[in-house]
């Protein structure tokens, strides 16, 4: 998605007027997110600690005059049409079956169509009438900042408001996650939709993904510490298979240990089923490493929430670095570019800690830093990153043409809302 300085609301509203020849009836927005710690734990019934950020997807909407739903994505300058939301289905091969006009699973239109189709099943007005929407976002696409969930939740919030149905944020998040599973073909966890729907200003959410209970954790004041996002510019794709593979390996590990989810695993259980424990029917080396990440990451996430509450930012930073090492070595979802960003940032005085955030295989790293150190990172990381990649002994597999790291400071914001 081309990065534009023009606010997404202005771009979405202008696109609406240009394509549908009137003003939108209403607009809604949903934020992207940064996960402070607790990675790949959500689909293992574990703990996560995300914040909603000040990058968001804005959706302008009105009823259509016919049954046809039309969507225009301003950032991509492309449109899609769904003749009838009620009978929109995710076909078995995970293409969206819109008459003969098939939409590829994982395309932006499959996210929008999936959410609208799920909503039409519970909002009678949407089952009989089409809608027109325009979309613009300041969440960079495919950067691990959850552009997909902000799109899903933004579309859901706008369409639910238009149809006059009030859906509790938790249910809205689940409806969106279901759309991502069935229509976009990505077997994601609940974290991204949850924080996009339920984020709170100045707070992180400690989410127990087993019970879906969420506790507020106050962020430190901006005079003490801020969150810095460092985009490696390596595009990641969760639909590419590695994400689903991690999920499958975790399930396989559960079957070996006779448990429902890795939430029930403990260091003792892992030791009992270790590949070298001598007993047959143990975990494979890979299963053991993946499970060890989940068990240790759950413990780190709870410890980080406690450390934030105690104001112990040095401890939060230590846990962030340990999380990154575990994602790199045990879960193997980092990449050389993310490792470089984490290492470069963690050397700067005043940086408490750094780690990759989101699904991995590219995307963003984050740092928790004093305001002075944060300014330093914004100023100096792009050049240091360029030099580091140029000097890498092995040309980095993922590196594409444009690897100018994009570095910015963010803060915890509220979740999805209808805009005034
Ligand atoms: C992606 C998924 C989330 C979560 C993270 C990893 O962002 O959408 O559900 O699994 O990866 O923590």
Q: Say if residues 75 and 5 touch (Cβ distance below 8 Å).
A: no
In 10 A of CB 212, how many CB atoms?
A: 12
Q: For residue 63, what are its two tokens?
A: 């009823």
User: What DSSP string runs through 65-127?
Assistant: SSS-EEEEETTTTEEEEES-STT-EE-TTS-EEETTEEEPTTSHHHHHHHHHHHHHTT-HHHH
Query: How remote is the C-alpha of 102 from its chain's centroid?
Result: 26
Distance 324 CA to ligand 1 centre (A): 15
Q: pLDDT category, 1, cuts 50, 70, 90?
A: very low
**Catalytic residue set:** 192
Q: What is the chain's Cα-based Rg?
A: 21
Nearest CA to ligand 1 atom 1: 359
The reported pLDDT for the residue numbered 106 is 81
Average pLDDT, stretch 198-214? 97
Using the structure block, give the residue that is written with the tokens 């023009």. Answer: 6
Q: Mind listing the pLDDT tens digit for each residue in 65-89? A: 998 999 999 999 999 998 888 888 7
Residue 344 or residue 400, greater confidence: 344
- In 3D space, the residue among 149, 119, 193, 133 whose CA is nearest the CA of residue 57 turns out to be 149
pLDDT value at residue 227 = 98
Say if CB 144 and CB 360 are below 8 A apart. Answer: yes
Ligand 1 pocket (Cβ < 6 Å) reads: 35, 39-40, 42-43, 146, 188-189, 191-192, 238, 358-359
Token readout for 408 is 């910015």
Residue-wise pLDDT for 350-402, tens only, equals 999 999 999 999 999 999 999 999 999 999 999 999 999 888 755 455 554 45
Q: For the segment 102-131, what is each residue's pLDDT rounded down to a tens digit?
A: 677 788 899 999 999 999 999 989 989 999
Q: Which atom of ligand 1 is nearest to the CA of 35?
A: 12
Cα(190) to ligand 1 centroid in Å equals 8
Cβ atoms of 31 and 54 within 8 Å: the answer is: yes
Angstrom distance (rounded) from CA 353 to CA 351: 6
pLDDT in tens, 221-278: 999 999 999 999 998 765 568 999 999 999 999 999 999 999 999 999 999 999 987 6
DSSP 6: S
Bigger pLDDT: 23 vs 81: 23
The per-residue pLDDT for range 139-196, each reduced to its tens digit, is 998 899 999 999 999 999 999 999 999 999 999 999 999 999 999 888 999 999 999 9
Residue 145's pLDDT is 97
Domains in the chain (CATH in brackets) are: 8-217 (3.30.230.10)
pLDDT at 10: 97
pLDDT of residue 100: 52
Rounded Cα–Cα distance for residues 107 and 297 (Å): 31
**Residue 202: band (very low, low, confident or very high) from pLDDT cuts 50, 70, 90:** very high
Q: How many residues does the chain have?
A: 420
From the CA of 258, how far away is ligand 1's center (Å)?
A: 25
Q: What is the pTM of this model?
A: 0.94
> Pairing state of beta strands 351-356 and 364-369?
antiparallel
Task: Among 359, 360, 361, 362, say which to mutate for ligand 1: greatest number of ligand atoms within 8 Å of CB.
Answer: 359
Q: What is the pLDDT of residue 2?
A: 42
Closest CA to 205 of 320, 371, 42: 42
Contact (CB, 8 A) for 351 and 357: no
DSSP 184: I
pLDDT at residue number 89: 76
Confidence grade of residue 93 (pLDDT, cut at 50, 70, 90): low
């Amino acid at each position: 998605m081309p990065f534009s300085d023009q606010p997404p609301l202005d771009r979405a509203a202008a696109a609406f007027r240009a394509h549908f020849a009137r003003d939108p009836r209403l607009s809604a927005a949903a934020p992207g997110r940064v996960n402070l710690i607790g990675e790949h734990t959500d689909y293992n019934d574990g703990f996560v600690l995300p914040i909603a950020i000040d990058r968001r997807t804005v959706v302008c909407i009105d009823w259509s005059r016919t049954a046809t739903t039309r969507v225009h994505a301003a950032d991509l300058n492309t449109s899609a049409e769904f003749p009838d939301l009620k009978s929109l289905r995710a076909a078995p091969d995970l293409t969206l079956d819109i008459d003969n006009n098939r939409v590829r699973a994982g395309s932006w239109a499959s996210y929008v169509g999936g959410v609208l189709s799920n909503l039409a099943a519970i909002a009678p007005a949407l089952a009989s009438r089409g809608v027109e929407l325009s979309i613009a976002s300041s969440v960079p696409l495919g950067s691990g900042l959850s552009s997909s969930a902000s799109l899903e939740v933004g579309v859901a919030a706008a369409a639910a408001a238009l149809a006059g149905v009030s859906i509790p944020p938790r249910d809205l998040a689940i409806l969106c996650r279901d759309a991502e599973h069935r229509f976009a073909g990505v077997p994601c966890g609940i974290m991204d939709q949850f924080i996009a729907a339920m984020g709170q200003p100045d707070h992180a959410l400690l989410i127990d993904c087993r019970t879906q209970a969420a506790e507020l954790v106050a962020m430190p004041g901006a005079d003490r510490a801020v969150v810095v996002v460092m985009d490696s510019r390596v595009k990641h794709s969760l639909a590419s298979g590695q994400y689903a593979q991690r999920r499958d390996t975790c399930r396989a590990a559960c079957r070996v240990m006779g448990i429902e989810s890795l939430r029930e695993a403990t260091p003792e259980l892992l030791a009992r089923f270790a590949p070298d424990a001598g007993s047959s029917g143990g975990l494979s080396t890979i299963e053991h490493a993946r499970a060890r990440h989940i068990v240790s990451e759950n413990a780190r996430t709870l410890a980080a929430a406690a450390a934030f509450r105690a104001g112990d930012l040095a401890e939060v930073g230590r846990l962030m670095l340990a999380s990154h090492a575990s994602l790199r070595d045990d879960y193997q979802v980092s990449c050389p570019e993310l490792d470089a960003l984490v290492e470069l940032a963690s050397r700067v005085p005043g940086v408490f800690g750094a780690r990759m955030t989101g699904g991995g295989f590219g995307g963003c790293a984050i740092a928790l830093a004093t305001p002075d150190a944060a300014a330093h990172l914004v100023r100096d990381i792009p050049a240091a990153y360029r030099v580091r990649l140029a000097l890498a002994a092995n040309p980095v597999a993922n590196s594409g043409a444009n690897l100018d790291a994009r570095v910015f400071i963010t803060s915890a914001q509220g979740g999805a809302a209808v805009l005034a």
